[in-house]
Amino acid sequence: MSQIKNISIIGGSGQQGTPILKALVSSKNFTITAITRSDSPSTFPPEVQVTRGDYTVSFLESALENQDALIIILGVTAPKDLQSRVIKSAAVASVPWVLPCEFGPDGASREMMDGLPYLAAKKERDEIEAWGKSSWLGVVCGLWFDVNLKNAFFGLNIKERTVRLYDEGTTVLSTSTLDQVARGLVKLLSLPSEKLLKYENSFVYIDSFHVSQLDMFRSLLKATGTEEKEWKVTKVPVDVAIAGGRKAFAAGDHKGGLDMFVGTMFKEGSGGDFRSKSNNVDLGLAEEDLDEVVSQVVKQVEAA
C-alpha cells in the first residue's frame, strides 16, 4: 500500500492544477486539502478540504501538519519567495514528499540547462534537500501539448492556417497533455512505498507523445479536413529563432521570448526528446492518441 494518504495542493484551481486536483479526487485514494489565499475567489470540489490564509510561514506550517505530500503549482505572478516559504514550512511540518513547481522541461538534462539558463537557476530541489525533512519528486512532462497547440506556441496556428517550422520541422520532442500529467501523478502517488522510493530526490518522466512539428501538422490536416496547400508554411533556422527569442526574453518580452523556449525543445540534441527516460511503463500509463487529442484541440479553437 502507498504511504501517501493526505495530500495538500497549492495552486489547485489554475490551468495546471485543476485537472490534477480532479484526477486526485476521482481516484478516491487520497484526502485532499487545497491551500489558498484568504482573498482568493477560487472554488473547489466538495470532496476537497479547503484551508485559506495569508501564506505567512506560521499559516503554512499549520496548514501542512499531518500531510504526506505537497504539490506546488505556482503561476508566473506568484511572489518570487513564495515557493521557498512553502518549502521551509513543509520541512517544519515534516511533510515527507514535496513536488515542487517543476512540470516542464528535463531539469536533469545538461543540454537543456545550457539552452535555458533560467531553469538552471532553480534552487527549490536543493532547498528541500538542505532542510533534510522532506524528499522531492520532480515531474518532467515537456511542454504542455494541448495548451501550446491551442495557443499556436508550437508554430502551428489553427485559426490562421499558418505553420512556422524550425529547420525542416522533423525534430522530435516529448510532450504531455494536462490530463496525462494528472493521471501520471495519481499513479505515482499511489505507488507502494518501496516503489515510490525509486523516485526519491529525482525526476519522474511523464509523456503523451514524442512528435515533430510535421507530425502535428499532418494530424491537424486530418482534424481540420484541409490540405497542405490551404496552409501557409514557412521555415526558420532553429538557431536563429533561439537567438532572437533569447534577446527578446532578456529585454522583458516574454511572448517574443517563446522562440527561446520552444526552439530549444525542437533543437536536435537539446534534451527536448526524453523518450528514453519515460516512466510511463513503470507507472502503468499509456501514451495518448495524437489524432484524438489534436481533434479535441481543433474543436476548442474553432468554437472560441
Q: Are residues 15 and 70 in the same domain?
A: yes
Look at residue 30 and tell me if it is in a domain: yes
Q: Are residues 69 and 186 in the same domain?
A: yes
Give how many domains the chain has, as a whole number.
2
The burial class, CB within 10 Å (0-12 / 13-18 / 19+), for 281 is: exposed
Instruction: Please give the residue range of the domain that contains residue 253.
Output: 143-176+208-275+282-303
Q: Are residues 243 and 195 in the same domain?
A: no
**Residue 105, CA atoms < 13 Å, CB-side half-sphere:** 25
Q: Which residue has the cell 511523464?
A: 206
Length in residues, the chain: 304
Look at residue 86 and tell me if it is in a domain: yes
Q: DSSP assignment, residue 234?
A: E
Q: What is the pLDDT along the chain (304 residues), one digit of tens a residue?
A: 458 999 999 999 999 999 999 999 999 999 999 999 999 999 999 999 999 999 999 999 999 999 999 999 998 778 888 999 999 999 999 999 999 998 999 988 988 888 887 776 567 899 999 999 999 999 999 999 999 999 999 999 999 999 999 999 999 999 999 999 999 999 999 999 999 999 999 999 999 999 999 999 999 999 999 999 999 999 999 999 999 999 998 898 988 889 999 999 999 999 999 999 999 999 999 889 999 999 999 999 999 8
- Give the model's pLDDT for residue 75: 81
Residue 107 contacts by C-beta under 8 Å, 6 or more apart in sequence?
113, 119, 122, 125, 138, 140, 203
Q: Are residues 239 and 91 in the same domain?
A: no
Q: Are residues 133 and 271 in the same domain?
A: no
CATH number at residue 41: 3.40.50.720
In angstroms, the CA 210 to CA 216 distance is 10
The burial class, CB within 10 Å (0-12 / 13-18 / 19+), for 204 is: buried
Look at residue 189 and tell me if it is in a domain: yes
